[in-house]
Structure 1
Amino acid sequence: MATILDSAKALEQTIRESAEFAHLKQQYDNVYADEATKKLFDDFRNLQFTLQTKQMQREEITQEEIIQAQEHVVAVQQNEKISALLEAEQQMSNVIQQINQIVMKPLEELYND
Structure 2
Amino acid sequence: MSKRLPPLNALRVFDAAARHLSFTKAAEELFVTQAAVSHQIKSLEDFLGLKLFRRRNRSLLLTEEGQSYYLDIKEIFSAINEATRKLQARSAKGALTVSLLPSFAIQWLVPPPLQL
The verdict on a shared fold, with TM-score over 0.5 as the criterion, is no
Rg bigger for which structure? 2
Q: Which of the two has greater helix per residue?
A: 1
| Alignment TM-score, normalising by the size of structure 2 | 0.33
Q: Which of the two has greater strand per residue?
A: 2
